[in-house]
Amino acid sequence: MSTLTQLPVVVIGAGPVGLAAAAHLHERGIAFTVLEAGDTPGAAVRQWGHVRVFSPWRYNIDPAARRLLDDAGWVAPDIEALPTGAELVTAYLQPLAELPALKPHLRYGTRVEAISRPGLDRLRTAGRDTTPFLVRLADGEEILARAVVDASGTWGNPNVLGASGLPARGERDATRYLEHALPDVLGGDRDRFAGRHTLVVGAGHSAANTLLSLAELAAEQPGTEVTWAIRSSSPARSYGGGDADALPARGALGSRLRTHVDAGRIRLLTGFSVHALTPTDDRVTVLVRHADGSEEAVTVDRIVAATGFRPDHSIAAELRLDLDPVMGATRALAPLIDPNEHSCGTVPPHGVDELSHPEPGYYAVGMKSYGRAPTFLMATGYEQVRSVVAALAGDWRAARDVQLDLPETGVCNSNPDDSATSDSCCGPAPDAEPAARGLATGVSGGLLAAPLQLVTLDTAPAGGQAGGCCGS
C-alpha cells in the first residue's frame, strides 16, 4: 500500500451528503475524516428546521447510511411521511453521526480555509498525482489527505438581490431590512413580520414557502401585507406542475400559492428587477426596473431574498478545477443540469466521471456540485458519493453504474422564455422519458412550509432569481 492511500479521505461538511459519503467510506474500509464548520451534524439543515420537505423519507435516506443505522437497531420513520428539517436532523442525521463507525471521525467547529498540495501550487505539475492534499483549517492546523470530497454546500453563500448578479445599489447598507431565505415566519421570527409589509423576491420553492407562511400570518395578524416580486412576466412556472407532479406535496405548493395570489392576499409584481435599496424612516424603499425600462418605487418593512445560492470555490483556488463558465459546475456535468436547456425528466444519472476535475482526487458533491443550477435533490447527492467512493476504492464498475429514479415535477425547464401559457407552465406534456431519469428540486430535496393532508406521496435558483417552477 502506498503512503498516499494510507492517508484519510477528508470530507468537508457533515450534512446529509457529507455523512452519506462517510457511510460509504466506512463500508469500503477507507479511512476518513469529516470536517464540519458548525457545532452539530446538519448545521445548515437546522437553520430551516421549521420547514417541512415535500419529499418523503424514502428519498432522503442514503442506502449505506440506512444499512449502518439498521445494524445499530435504528427505528426508521415512516418512509412515506414528510419530515421537517428539524426531524431530518434529530431522526436521521444525529443518530447517524453518533454511530461508533462515524462519530470518532467527525470534527465540529472546524472550518476549512484552503486546499492545496504540499510544496505544489496550481502551476506545478511534476509529482502532483503522488502528492497528498494539504487541507488548511481556519486555526492554522494542516491535515494531509489522499482525496477530498467537498460536501460543504451553498447555504452560506446566497445570491444577491441585484438582478445582474451584482448587489443592488445600497444593498450592503440595507442589510438590517433583509432576511435570508426561509425565515421562521410563523415561529421564532414572527415578530419581525407581524403587522408589517414584507417583499419576497424570488420565483422558486423557497419563495413559495415563505409566501404561504406570510399569507397565513396576514390572516391572523391585521396590518400584515405581502408582496411577491419575480423577474418573469408570468408566475406560471412558479406555480409548478400541480396534479402532474409526481410528488403531490410539491404540486400542491404551487396550487396553494396561486390561490392566494388570485384572491389578492398576495400582491404579485412581474417583470421585476431590483435596482437600488434606500432606507427611509425605519423602512426600505426598493427601486425596481421593469422589462419595458420603466421604474417603480416600493416601500416595505422587510425583504426576504429567496434568490437562491451559488458555490464558493475559493478554498480550492490552488487546485486545478475545470468549471463551466456559466453554471460553475464541472464542465462535464453542466450541460446535463443547465436549467436554461433541460426540461423535467432529462437530468441523467451521473457520478464520478462527470464530477472529476483535472485535479485528481478532488470532488465537489451535493448542492455545491450543481453550481448555480437550482435542480439538486438529496437522492442525487447520495448517488454521487456512492459513485465517488467506489472509484476511490478502485471499483470502477460500481463507480460507473450510476442510477437515479427521481420524481418528475410536471413542469419544464427552470428558465425558459415566457411563451408558455398553459396551466402546467410548459404547454403539452412531453413524451415519456427513459427510466432512471428525472429532474430534482429543492435546497434539500424540496421544501414545503406547512404539512398537507396527503395519504401517500422526493434543496434555490441562482444568478439572481433566474430559477422558475423547477427551482427551490
Residue 398 is inside which H or E element, if any? helix 396-400
Assess if residue 414 is contained within a domain: no
Which domain, by its residues, includes 326? 4-156+309-400
Q: Which of 380, 400, 420 is the last residue of a domain?
A: 400
Tell whether 64 and 150 lie within a shared domain. Answer: yes
Q: Which of 375, 400, 425 is the last residue of a domain?
A: 400
Contact present, 10 and 135 (Cβ < 8 Å): yes
Q: Angle at the Cα of 204 (from 203 to 207), degrees rounded to 5? A: 80
Cell 422587510, residue?
302
Strand partners, 363: 149
Tell whether 288 and 389 lie within a shared domain. Answer: no
Tell whether 181 and 278 lie within a shared domain. Answer: yes
Tell whether 177 and 263 lie within a shared domain. Answer: yes
pLDDT along the chain (472 residues), means of 10: 83 98 98 98 96 90 98 96 96 98 98 97 93 98 98 94 91 94 96 98 91 97 96 82 60 86 95 92 92 89 95 97 95 90 64 97 97 87 97 98 71 38 31 33 40 34 34 34
Assess if residue 276 is contained within a domain: yes
| Domain harbouring 196, CATH code | 3.50.50.60
Contact present, 374 and 56 (Cβ < 8 Å): no
- From start to end of 140-205, where are the E strands? 142-145, 147-150, 178-179, 197-201
pLDDT recorded at residue 122 = 94
Assess if residue 450 is contained within a domain: no
Distance of CA 346 to the CA centre of its chain: 19
| Angle subtended by helix axes 205-220 and 248-262, to nearest 10 | 50
pLDDT recorded at residue 443 = 40
pLDDT recorded at residue 242 = 59
Assess if residue 300 is contained within a domain: yes
Tell whether 61 and 198 lie within a shared domain. Answer: no
Tell whether 291 and 332 lie within a shared domain. Answer: no
Tell whether 80 and 128 lie within a shared domain. Answer: yes
Q: Which of 305, 334, 368 is the last residue of a domain?
A: 305
Tell whether 119 and 215 lie within a shared domain. Answer: no
Tell whether 86 and 137 lie within a shared domain. Answer: yes
Tell whether 272 and 176 lie within a shared domain. Answer: yes
**Residue 86, C-alpha cell as written in the block:** 428539524
Torsional class of 362: left (φ above 0), alpha (ψ -120 to 50), beta (otherwise): beta
Assess if residue 125 is contained within a domain: yes
pLDDT recorded at residue 418 = 38
pLDDT recorded at residue 468 = 34
Tell whether 75 and 102 lie within a shared domain. Answer: yes
Assess if residue 314 is contained within a domain: yes
Tell whether 150 and 194 lie within a shared domain. Answer: no
Overall domain count for the chain: 2
Distance of CA 85 to the CA centre of its chain: 13
Assess if residue 445 is contained within a domain: no
What gap in Å lies between CA 248 and CA 253, rounded to an integer?
9
**Residue 301, C-alpha cell as written in the block:** 418593512
Assess if residue 166 is contained within a domain: no
Contact present, 415 and 245 (Cβ < 8 Å): no
